[in-house]
Structure 1
Amino acid sequence: MTKLVVAKFGGSAIGPDGISIPKIIQRITNLKKDAKVIAVFSAPLTIDNGKKRSLTDVILEQGENAANGTAPSLEIIKSTYQKILELVNSENKERCRNIIDLNLEKVRKALDETTENKEFVDEVRSRALAFSGEILMSHVMNYILRSNNIKSESIDFEDWPIITDNNIESTNFLTSESRAKIEKTEKIVEQNEVVTIGGFIGKTTDNVMTTYERGGSDRTAADLGILFHKKYETSIDFEKDSAVVSADPKIIESGLREVHQLSYNEARLAGMFGMKILDPIAIKEIVENGVDMSITVTNMKNPDKITIIKRTLDEQKGHPIKIVTGKENCAIFRIETASIQRLLTSLDKDKRYSEFIILSPFTKDGMEFSRILFLDGDYVKRNEKYLLGFDSLATITYNRGVITLIGDEMWRVQQVASRTSAKIGEAGLNILNMDAQEETSRIVIVVEDTKDNIRKAISAIHQEISKINFI
């Protein structure tokens, strides 16, 4: 069976104004030596007032300007692609320039509609994002690859293989509907060494453009793996600034350990709790579709440094606690246990939302209450009316932070709960809740989300891990 690598390149991999694209060319050239490649691209970065910034954020700002009556500007967008265009050779430059102009005209029309309607939402928002970011970048990268003698082709939105439901701004992948639309993409993959496609973007069966939530390009890579795994020996490769290490390098500057393998479960938990490894929903979709394929996180600057993510791990010899991570801006939702099942069913079936965990229940005045820790406080704020509809006496507490330890075999670590809680206390933090479950090898510690509490807790625990013995 022919090999296929779905390689995802995020904004940081592309770099400001495409500065890292030569490295991307090298990586794709190496990957295509023994496999076909589908390259998934996010929106590029730019430099705005001396700071790195995603074009996604730029266009969101311009969309809000348009909605509020301020004339939007595409100058930053144009300038970024003008610089990237310099990487296209003379043979392909004119066609590439025309593609840029055509897509930015679509963005302009979307912003004009925003000004007229005084709102930047739904399909108009999706079109502005896609044609200034992911879709446009995939077309530009196609011409850059051709300029480097690579046989490539890009996927037009008319032939888009990622079919989703009708939730426009936070959409959900529909597997069977996507399989029904995959034929054109399959032919393009067969005929080329490399195929480029924009991440983050989907469309409904009625051809309405949709978007995943931020980080959605990871989901696009996973979805393409799901669609192609029966026809090709398929793997997924996330090209990043580094492979996975034992904590966020922005928090822990020294003493980081390389993580060579993660299970699907470990990778999903790490993503849910703040490690920017990959979107946890990408893993969820792979598991839900019964697919077992290898995922690699590659240090693009040093491709020998990799982390393998797979369903069943090889025998593990290192420390069972692989990662210490944390998440700010969480919320705890307390609800009568008698009402929780209806809410959980609705979150799954109606919202298709899973970025939460169930904490241990408690009893008060003879009544049992359940607690849901939502890992995105903003999601709860947007959906307060919906959540409280399941129990008008339910309560919500915001400004909570959570720290967790990642490791499927954490049960082998001696005194892990007592040692970690003690270190948090020594760091001067008050533990509001500690939830330890042997069955899930999970320890969740909730603290108040103020100042640098989460960073202090992660630093304290990470330093202690190497000192704790394990079986």
Structure 2
Amino acid sequence: MTKLVVAKFGGSAIGPDGASIPEIIQRITNLKKDSKVIAVFSAPLTMDNGKKRSLTDVMLEQGRNAENGISPSLDIIKSTYEKILELVDPENKEKCKNVIEQNLEKAKKALDEALENKEFVDEVRSRALAFSGEILMSHVMNYILRSNKINAETVNFEDWPIITDNNIESTNFLTSESRAKMDKTAELVKQSEVVTIGGFIGKTVDNITTTYERGGSDRTAADLGILFHKNYETSIDFEKDSAVVSADPKIIESGLREVHQLSYNEARLAGMFGMKILDPIAIKEIVENGVDMSITVTNMKNPEKVTTIKRILDEQKGHPIKIVTGKENCAIFRIETTSIQKLLTSLEKDKRYSEFVILSPFTKDGIEFSRILFLDGDYVKRNEKYLLGFDSLATITYNRGVITLIGDEMWRVQQVASRTSAKIGEAGLNILNMDAQEETSRIIIVVEDTKDNIRKAISAIHQEISEINFI
């Protein structure tokens, strides 16, 4: 069976104004030696007042301006693509320039609608983001690859294979409907060495433009793997500036351990709780569709450094606690246990939302209450009315942070709960909740999300881990 690699390149991999594109070309050149390649692209970064910014954030800012009656501008976005256009050879430059102009005109039209209606939501928002970011970048990369003598094609939005439901701004992948729309993309893969496509973006069966949540390009890569795994020996490769290490390098500067293998479960938990490995929903969708394929996280600048993510791991010889991570901006939702099941069913069936964990219940005045730890406080704020509709007396507490340890075989680590909680105490932090479950090898520690609490807790626990014995 022919091999197929779905390779995802995020904004940081592309770099400000396309600075890392030469390295992307080299990676794709190497990948295509023994495999077909589908290259999934996020929106590029730019430099704005000396800081790196995603064009997604630039466009969201312009959308907010439009909502407030301020005339939006595409100047920063145009400037970014003009710089990236310099990587296209003379033979392809005029075509690429026309594609940039056509897509930015579609983005401008969406912003004009937002200005007129004083709303930057739903499909208007999705179109603005799509045609200024991911979709446009995939077309530009197609011409850059052609300029480097690579047989490349790109997926036009008219032939989009990622079909989603009608949740416009936080949409969900529909497998069977997508399979029905994948013929054109499949033909491009068959005929070409490399096919480029924008991540993050979907469309409904009625051709309404939709977007995943932030980080959704990971899901696009997973969804394409799901669609093609029966036709090719398919794998997914996330190209990043680092393979996986034992904590966020922005928090822990020394003593980091390389993580060579993660299970699907470990990778999903790490993503849910703050490690930017991959979108945890990408793993969830792979599992739900009964697909078992290799996933790699590759250090693009040093491709020999790779973390492999597998459903069933090889025998593990290293420390069972692989990652210490934390998440800011969480919220705890308390609800009577008699009402929780309807809410959970609705979150699964209606919202298809799963970025939460159930904490241990408690009893007060003879009534049992359940607690849901939502890992995105902003999601809770946007959906307060919906959540409280299941129990008007339920309560929500914001400004919570959570620290967790990742490792399917954490049960082999002696005194892990007591020693990690003690370390947090020594760091001067007050533990508001600690939830340890042997069955799931999960320890969750909740603290107040203020100042640098999460960073201090991660640093304290990460230092302690290497000193704890394991069986």
- Band the TM-score falls in, shorter-chain normalisation: over 0.9
1:116 CA drift (Å): 1.1
Q: Match for 1:97: what amino acid?
A: K
Deviation at 1:182, TM superposition (A): 0.6
Deviation per residue, 1:24-68 (Å, 9 max, x gap) = 000000000000000000000000011100000111111111121
Structure 1 residue ranges without an equivalent (≥5): none
- For residue 394 of structure 1, what is the amino acid of its counterpart? A
Q: 2:324: which partner in 1?
A: 324
In structure 2, the residue matched to 1:343 is: 343
Counterpart position of 1:180: 180
Instruction: Read off the aligned partner of 2:298 and give its amino acid letter.
Output: T
Q: Which runs of 4+ in 1 moved over 3 A?
A: none
Is 2:379 the partner of 1:379?
yes
- Residue of structure 2 in register with 1:118 after alignment: 118
Q: Does 1:231 align with 2:194?
A: no
Aligned to 2:290: 290
What secondary structure is seen at the aligned counterpart in 2 of 1:226? helix
CA distance in 2, matches of 1:168, 1:201: 10
What does 1:431-470 correspond to in 2, within 5 Å?
A: 431-470=431-470
Task: Give distance in 2, aligned partners of 1:379 and 1:113.
Answer: 26
Query: Structure 1 residue 25 and structure 2 residue 25: aligned?
Result: yes
> What is the CA deviation profile of residues 197-219 of structure 1, one whole-angstrom value per residue up to 9, with x for unaligned ones?
00000000001110001000000
The separation in 2 between residues aligned to 1:394 and 1:128, in whole angstroms, is 37
1:104-144 Cα offsets, whole Å, 9 max, x none, are 11111111111111111111111110110000000000000
Deviations 1:271-318 (A, max 9, x none): 000000000000000000000000000000000000000100000000
Normalised by the size of structure 2, how large is the TM-score?
1.00
Distance in 1 of aligned mates of 2:76 and 2:337:
51
Shift of 1:95: 0.3
Report deviation, 1:420.
Answer: 0.2
Which amino acid counterpart does residue 133 of structure 2 have in structure 1? G
Give the equivalent residue in structure 2 for 1:360. Answer: 360
Secondary structure of the residue that 1:176 maps to in structure 2?
helix
Residue in 1 that maps onto 2:164: 164
Task: Return the TM-score normalized by structure 1.
Answer: 1.00
Counterpart position of 1:92: 92
Quote the residue 1:198 is aligned against: 198
Aligned residue type for 1:115 = L
Q: Distance in 1 between matches of 2:42 and 2:453?
A: 32
What is the CA–CA distance in structure 1 between the aligned matches of 2:400 and 2:121, rounded to whole Å?
29
The one-letter code matched in structure 1 to 2:248 is: D
Q: Measure the CA separation in 2 of the matches of 1:210 and 1:384.
A: 23
> Amino acid of the residue matched to residue 132 of structure 1?
S
CA RMSD of aligned residues (A): 0.5
CA distance in 2, matches of 1:379, 1:139: 32
Q: Separation in 2 of the partners of 1:426 and 1:394?
A: 34
Correspondence 1:3-82 to 2 at 5 A: 3-82=3-82
3-state secondary structure, aligned to 1:18? coil
Measured after TM superposition, the shift of residue 4 of structure 1 is 0.1
Partner SS, residue 236 of structure 1:
strand
What residue is the counterpart of 2:414 in the other structure? 414
Shift of 1:93: 0.4
Point out where structure 2 has 5 or more consecutive residues left out of the alignment: none
Q: Does 1:83 align with 2:83?
A: yes
Deviation at 1:443, TM superposition (A): 0.2
Deviations 1:146-181 (A, max 9, x none): 000000000000000000001111100000000000
Q: CA deviation at 1:366?
A: 1.3
One-letter amino acid matched to 2:182: I
